Structure 1
Amino acid sequence: MSADVRRILRLALPPARRLWAAIALGALSAACAVALLGASAWLITYAAEQPPVLFLSMAVVGVRAFALGRAFFRYLERLAGHDAAFRQLPAIRSSLYARLVPLAPDGVRGNRSGDVLSRLADDVDELQNHSLRVVQPLVTSGVIALASVVATFLLLPEAGGALLAMLVLAAIAGSVVNSWAAGAAERRVAPLRAELTAGILDLVRNVDVLTAYDALPDAQRRVREASERLTGAVRARAAGLGLTAGVVSLLAGGATVLGLVFGIPAVDTGRIGGPVLAVIALLPLAVFEVFGMVPLALGAWRQVTASAQRIAEAAPATLPAGVPVDGPDARPLTIDGVPTVRLSGMSARWPGTDLPVLHDIDLELAPGERVLLTGPSGAGKTALAHVLVRFLDHEGSVAIDGVETRDARQDDVRRVVGLCEQQPYLFDADLQQNLLFARETATEDELLAVLHRVGLAEWAAERDGLATRVGERGALVSGGQAQRIALARALLADFPVLVVDEPTANVDVAAADRVVADILRTAEEDGRTVLLISHTDVPPALITRRIELEDGRIRGAAAAA
C-alpha cells in the first residue's frame, strides 16, 4: 500500500473522540443483544422448574432492559457513526480538489471527465465505509467475542474453549471464502462504476453530435454493456457475501452443537444446571450474529482501499514533473501598471512526458505591445501560453518586471497574466453569471459597458439582456460570441498582460477578422500587452510585432509595418 493511499485512509477516519464514541455505543448495543439471548434462555429454562416468581423478577427486568438497550444503543451508534463519517467527506473532497487544482489543466490530460467525477463523488462516498463497515465492526466484534468467550469459560471451560475455536475458524474460513467468492468482484466495482459514469456523461454531453453522425446506437450500446458489467460485478459480490454469511452461520450452529456436547455431561455430573446449559447452547448464536461482521469487514476493506487507490492516482501527494506548485518560499507578486515579461532560455515539457515541447525560448513582451505568435499545429504555441500563466512548469527564466514567476505565488501571476483559451468555458447559467465569474463585485452598468466594448451589447439587448442563457459549455451561443464573452471576462478581470489562444478556431471567416480586430483594438485602448496566438494572418496595422514558432523554437521576429 502506497503512502498516498495510507494518507487518504487516515483522512477518512473521524477524530478519535467521535470514532470511539460510535464504537462504544456499538459495543453496548452488541452486548445487549448477546445478554438478551442469554438472559432469555436462562429465564425460560429456569421458569420451567416453577421456582417462586420472586426469583424470576430480576431476569424479567434484565430481559426488558437488554431488549430496550439493544435498540436504543443501536440507534445512537448509527447516528454517531454516520455523523462522524459524513463529517469527514467534505474534508476528503476538499483535499482531493486542492490537489487537483495544481494539476489542472495540463496535469489531468487524458483523464475522462466522467472518471474524474466518479472519483470525486462515488469513490469519496465509499470511504465512509472505512469507519462504518471496517473499523467499527472489527473493534466491536473483537470486544464482544472476547467478553463472550470469557463469560462462557467461567460457566464451563470446555464450552468456552470450543466457542473460541469456532470463532477463530469462522474468522479464517469466512475471510477465505469471502476473498475467493467476492474479492475480485469487490475490486472491480469502483473502476466499472467509473466506466459507466464516464460513458453516461459522454453520451449526455454529446448526444447531438452522436445523433448527427448516426453514432448514438453505438454509444448507447457501450453504456448498456458497461452497466451490465457493473451489474455482474455487484451480483458476484452479493453472492460472495451470501456465501460468507452461510459459512459463518454454519459454524455458529457448530458452536451450539459443541456447547451441548460439553454441556450435557456437565449437567449429568451436576457441574452446571439446566438453565446454564441453555445459556451455553444459545449464546453462540448471538455472538456469531455480531462476529459475522468480521469477514464482511474484510470485504469492505478491499472496496475502500480500491477507492482510496483511485483517489490517490487522481491526486497524488507528489505532483508529476511539469506541474507547477507554490513552494514554501513563494512570495507575493505586486505589479504597478503594465509590466515587462521576459523569457530567457526557457524550456518546458508536458507533464508525464520526457521530450521538451519548448526549447530555449528568448522573448520579451514590452508594455503595451501587441504581438502575434504564429506557427503550425504542435509547434508549442499553447504550451507557451500555459507557461506564461503558470499552468505548466518551465526551466530557464520567466520574469515579470524582474521577478521570477517560479518564485512568486501562482495566483498572483495569474492576476497579472490572463488567458483567453481556444475553447473558453462557459457555465450553464445566464450571461450575467458568466461575467461575474471574472469580477464578483461588478455592477450591471459595468457589465453592460464591457459587453458594449466587445460588441455584444446589441446582441444581448435583442435577447434577455444579462439574463440571456448561454447553455452548457456555451451551446446556445456561436463560437465568435463565446470568444467575445471570454474577452469581456478578461477585461473585467483587468489583466495587464493578456494571452489569447486561437480566438478564431471556432469562428467563421467573416466573424474571425472582427473578433481579432476587437481584441487588439480593445487592448490598445487600455494600454495592455497582448500576445495573440493564431494560425491565420492578422493585418500588420493591428500588431506591433510578429513571431513564428516551429518545433518549439522561435524561428524569427519582424517588426510590423
Structure 2
Amino acid sequence: MRTAEVLRSAQPPIRRFWGPLAAGFGTAVSAIALLAASAWLITRSAEQPAVMYITAVVVAVRAFALGRGVFRYLERLTGHDATLGQLAGVRAALVRRIVPLAPDGLGGARRGALLSRLVDDVDELQNLPLRVVMPLAVAGTASLASVVFVAFLSPLAAVTLAACLVVAFALAVWLGWLLGARAERQIAPLRSRLADALVDELTSLDVLTAFDATDAAHARVRAADEALRRAIVRRAGAQGFTSGAVSLLAGVASVAALLVALPGLSAGAMAGPAFAVVVLLPMAVFEIFGPVPLALASWRQVRSAAERVARTVPDAVPAGIPQNEPAATGSAPALGTGISLRGLSARWPDRGGNVDGDAVAPTAATPAPPVDASDSDSGRLIAVDLDVAPGERVLITGPSGAGKTTLAHVLVRFLDYGGSYRIGDVEARTVNGDDLRRTVGLCEQSPYLFDESLRQNLLFARDSATDDDLWAALERVGLAGWTAERGGLDASLGERGALVSGGQAQRIALARALLADFPVLVLDEPTAGVDPAASDALLGDLLGAVGTERAVILISHVDVPAGLVDREVRLEAGRLA
C-alpha cells in the first residue's frame, strides 16, 4: 500500500468537502470584513456625519459578527461530518486488507505497534482535511481576496501585504522544517513504542512479577514515555516559535501599510476611513493566516502517520498467505468430509518484518512451489501424502519444529500450499477460506477467550444458539457442573481467559467447535497447557465429546492413550516418517 493512496483515502471527495471549504471561507471573510467595517465605521463616525451615511455599515458590522459565528459552526459541523465519515471508511478498508493476512501474515507484527497504527495513526489522518487542507485553502483564498481588496484602496499597501504574506509562508516552512520536522516525524513511532511497552507489561504482569522483572518493565515504559514527551515538547516549541515569528510579521505588515499609505493620506488622495482600513486590515488577514504554520506541522505528522499505515499493508501479499480466493458464499459449501493430501508442501511466511515482504503469494493458477528437500527450516512441510476418511481419527506426532502446526494452518487455509489438498472431491484452493473453515475447524494450541461472559464466548461460534444449546455443549465437554458453580453462563472469563485454567480453556474452545458443528476438526496440541497427570483424561473427554461422526486430526507431541485414535502418523523434518 502506498503513502499517496492512504492520503487520498483520508481526504473526503470534493462533492462532500466543498461545503466545509465554503463555510471556512465565509468565516475568514466575515472576520476580515468585520475588522475592516469596524475600522471604517469608527473612523467615519469620528467625522460626525449624518447617521444615514453610516447606517448600512452598522448593519454590516452586525451581519459580519453574526456571520463569523454561523459560518464557523457550519464549518465545524460539515467538516467533521465529512472527515469522520471518510475516516470510518479508511479504518474499515484497512481492516479489510489486514484480515486476509491474519494470523500468519502478521506473525512479526508487535501488538502495540499494530494497535497504534490502527487507532492512533488512522486518527491522525483526520488532520489532513481539518488541519492541513482546510486552513491552507481558506488562508490562501482569503489572503488573495484581501490583497485584491486592498489594491483598490492602495496598490502599494497591497504589494506590501502580499510580500509580508509570502515571507511569512516561507518563514513558516523554513523554521518549521528546521526546528520541528524531526520531532514531528518521531512522534508516531515513539507513541507506538510506548504502546508496545505498555501492552507488553500489562499482558505479562504475572510473569514479570514472578521473576522480579517489573522494575525493568517500568523502566522501559518510563523511557518510552520520556522520549515521547521530549519529542512533543520540541514540536510545541517549534510551533510556538514559528507562530510568534508570523505574528511579528503581522505587525510589520501593518507598519509597512502605514508607511506606504501615509503619503496618499497627506496628499488627500485617500480618505481617513480608507486609510484606517488599509492599516488595520493586515492584522485581520494575519489572524486568518495564523493557522498556516500549524497546518504545515500537521502535514508532516499526517504524512508520517500515512507512511506507517501504508507499511502495515504491503503492496504484495507475503509468500505463503492465500490470496485471490473465490468470493465467499456466506453459507456452508457442499464439501465432503474426507481429506486427501498429495505432495503437499508449505512454509511459514517471512517473519523478519511486520508485513513488509514483497514476494507474491501463490494463486490457484500459480501454486506455491515445492519446498526443496535440502531446506531444513523449522515448520516446513515437504511432499506430504495423507488421507483422512470421514469419521476417522488420526493422530499426528513428531518433535517440535517438524511441521505439525504448519499442517494444521494449511488445513484451515491460514497458509497456502503447493501440491494438492482436497476435501472430498474439491481442491481446497478453489474454495474461499471462510467457506472452507465452515467445514474444517481448528482448536488452536492456545485458544483465545474474550474478556466477556461464558455465554458470549460460546455465542461467538453460533450466535443463534439458545441457552439450552449452550448448556448441552458444556455438558458434552464436561463443564456443566463447573459452569453452575461459577454462577452460570454469565460468569466472566477474564482478560484472555485469565480466570480459567488451561484445560478449561481447551474445553471451552471445543464447546465452541461443537456449536459450530465442523464436519472435520483439527485439535492442535489440546493438552499443551495441562498438567501431564490430567492430560490423558482431558484427551479422553475431548475426543468423547466430539463423537464418531466427525473426522478428527489430533496433533500432539506426547503419547495418546490406546483406543482414542484409529491410527498414528509421524512427521519428522516436514516429511511423513
| Unaligned ranges ≥5, structure 1 | 556-561
Name the residue aligned to 2:552: 530
User: CA–CA distance in 2 between the matches of 1:482 and 1:101?
Assistant: 25
Query: What SS is found at the alignment partner of 2:87?
Result: helix
Q: Does 1:347 align with 2:345?
A: yes
C-alpha contact (below 8 Å) 1:182/1:241 kept by paired residues: yes
Shift of residue 281 of structure 1? 1.1
User: CA–CA distance in 2 between the matches of 1:467 and 1:492?
Assistant: 18
Shift of residue 331 of structure 1? 7.5
Q: Does 1:315 align with 2:313?
A: yes
User: CA–CA distance in 2 between the matches of 1:87 and 1:494?
Assistant: 39
- The 1:335–1:270 alpha-carbon spacing in structure 2 relative to 1, beyond 3 Å, is closer
Name the residue aligned to 1:229: 227
User: CA–CA distance in 2 between the matches of 1:499 and 1:191?
Assistant: 39
Query: What SS is found at the alignment partner of 1:465?
Result: coil
User: CA–CA distance in 2 between the matches of 1:346 and 1:331?
Assistant: 26
When structure 1 is superposed on structure 2, of 438-447 and 415-424 the one drifting more is 438-447
Shift of residue 338 of structure 1? 5.1
Name the residue aligned to 2:472: 449
Name the residue aligned to 2:518: 495
Query: What SS is found at the alignment partner of 2:319?
Result: coil
**Per-residue deviation, residues 100-142 of structure 1 (Å, max 9, x unmatched):** 2111111111222122221121111111111100111111111
Name the residue aligned to 2:170: 172
Name the residue aligned to 1:11: 9
User: CA–CA distance in 2 between the matches of 1:404 and 1:166?
Assistant: 71
Q: Give the residue type in structure 1 aligned to 2:559.
A: D
- The 1:166–1:460 alpha-carbon spacing in structure 2 relative to 1, beyond 3 Å, is same
User: CA–CA distance in 2 between the matches of 1:335 and 1:171?
Assistant: 62
Counterpart pick for 1:423 among 442, 446, 467: 446
User: CA–CA distance in 2 between the matches of 1:37 and 1:468?
Assistant: 65
**Paired residues for 1:15-164 under 5 Å:** 15-164=13-162
Shift of residue 14 of structure 1? 2.2
Query: What SS is found at the alignment partner of 2:31?
Result: helix
Q: Give the residue type in structure 2 aligned to 1:542.
A: L
Name the residue aligned to 1:480: 503
Shift of residue 519 of structure 1? 2.5
User: CA–CA distance in 2 between the matches of 1:153 and 1:173?
Assistant: 24
Q: Give the residue type in structure 1 aligned to 2:507.
A: R
User: CA–CA distance in 1 between the matches of 2:162 and 2:325?
Assistant: 55
Higher helix proportion, which one? 1
**Per-residue deviation, residues 292-334 of structure 1 (Å, max 9, x unmatched):** 2223212111111111222222233532222112435778896
Q: Give the residue type in structure 1 aligned to 2:236.
A: A
Shift of residue 336 of structure 1? 5.3
Shift of residue 496 of structure 1? 0.8
Shift of residue 371 of structure 1? 0.9
Name the residue aligned to 1:181: 179
Query: What SS is found at the alignment partner of 1:441?
Result: coil
User: CA–CA distance in 2 between the matches of 1:69 and 1:410?
Assistant: 57
User: CA–CA distance in 2 between the matches of 1:134 and 1:427?
Assistant: 39
- The 1:157–1:335 alpha-carbon spacing in structure 2 relative to 1, beyond 3 Å, is closer
Q: Does 1:552 align with 2:574?
A: yes
C-alpha contact (below 8 Å) 2:335/2:426 kept by paired residues: no
User: CA–CA distance in 2 between the matches of 1:31 and 1:115?
Assistant: 43
C-alpha contact (below 8 Å) 2:328/2:434 kept by paired residues: no
User: CA–CA distance in 1 between the matches of 2:336 and 2:537?
Assistant: 25
**Paired residues for 1:500-519 under 5 Å:** 500-519=523-542
Q: Give the residue type in structure 2 aligned to 1:17.
A: R
Matched positions, count:
552
**Per-residue deviation, residues 59-101 of structure 1 (Å, max 9, x unmatched):** 2222121111111211211111112212222212211211121
Query: What SS is found at the alignment partner of 2:489?
Result: helix
C-alpha contact (below 8 Å) 1:502/1:535 kept by paired residues: yes
User: CA–CA distance in 2 between the matches of 1:98 and 1:222?
Assistant: 33
- The 1:53–1:337 alpha-carbon spacing in structure 2 relative to 1, beyond 3 Å, is closer
**Per-residue deviation, residues 501-530 of structure 1 (Å, max 9, x unmatched):** 11111000122101212233333x242111
Q: TM-score, normalised by structure 1?
A: 0.95
**Per-residue deviation, residues 130-180 of structure 1 (Å, max 9, x unmatched):** 110011111111110110111111111111111111111111111110111
User: CA–CA distance in 1 between the matches of 2:75 and 2:91?
Assistant: 25
Name the residue aligned to 1:247: 245
Name the residue aligned to 1:559: none
Shift of residue 461 of structure 1? 2.2
C-alpha contact (below 8 Å) 1:369/1:530 kept by paired residues: yes
Q: Give the residue type in structure 2 aligned to 1:366.
A: A
C-alpha contact (below 8 Å) 2:147/2:162 kept by paired residues: yes
C-alpha contact (below 8 Å) 1:26/1:77 kept by paired residues: yes
Q: Does 1:471 align with 2:494?
A: yes
Q: TM-score, normalised by structure 2?
A: 0.92
User: CA–CA distance in 1 between the matches of 2:431 and 2:334?
Assistant: 16
Counterpart pick for 2:401 among 371, 374, 378: 378
User: CA–CA distance in 1 between the matches of 2:572 and 2:226?
Assistant: 48
Name the residue aligned to 2:366: none
Shift of residue 253 of structure 1? 1.6
User: CA–CA distance in 2 between the matches of 1:484 and 1:331?
Assistant: 30
C-alpha contact (below 8 Å) 2:39/2:280 kept by paired residues: yes
User: CA–CA distance in 1 between the matches of 2:95 and 2:389?
Assistant: 36
Q: Give the residue type in structure 1 aligned to 2:460.
A: F
Q: Give the residue type in structure 2 aligned to 1:196.
A: L
Query: What SS is found at the alignment partner of 2:268?
Result: coil
User: CA–CA distance in 1 between the matches of 2:37 and 2:474?
Assistant: 79
Q: Does 1:414 align with 2:437?
A: yes
Aligned-residue identity in percent: 55
Query: What SS is found at the alignment partner of 1:14?
Result: coil
User: CA–CA distance in 1 between the matches of 2:350 and 2:18?
Assistant: 43
Shift of residue 337 of structure 1? 7.6
C-alpha contact (below 8 Å) 2:337/2:423 kept by paired residues: yes
Query: What SS is found at the alignment partner of 1:419?
Result: strand
Query: What SS is found at the alignment partner of 2:437?
Result: helix
Query: What SS is found at the alignment partner of 1:467?
Result: coil
| Unaligned ranges ≥5, structure 2 | 352-358, 360-374
User: CA–CA distance in 2 between the matches of 1:210 and 1:446?
Assistant: 40
C-alpha contact (below 8 Å) 1:89/1:125 kept by paired residues: yes
**Per-residue deviation, residues 198-237 of structure 1 (Å, max 9, x unmatched):** 2222222222222121111211121112111111111111
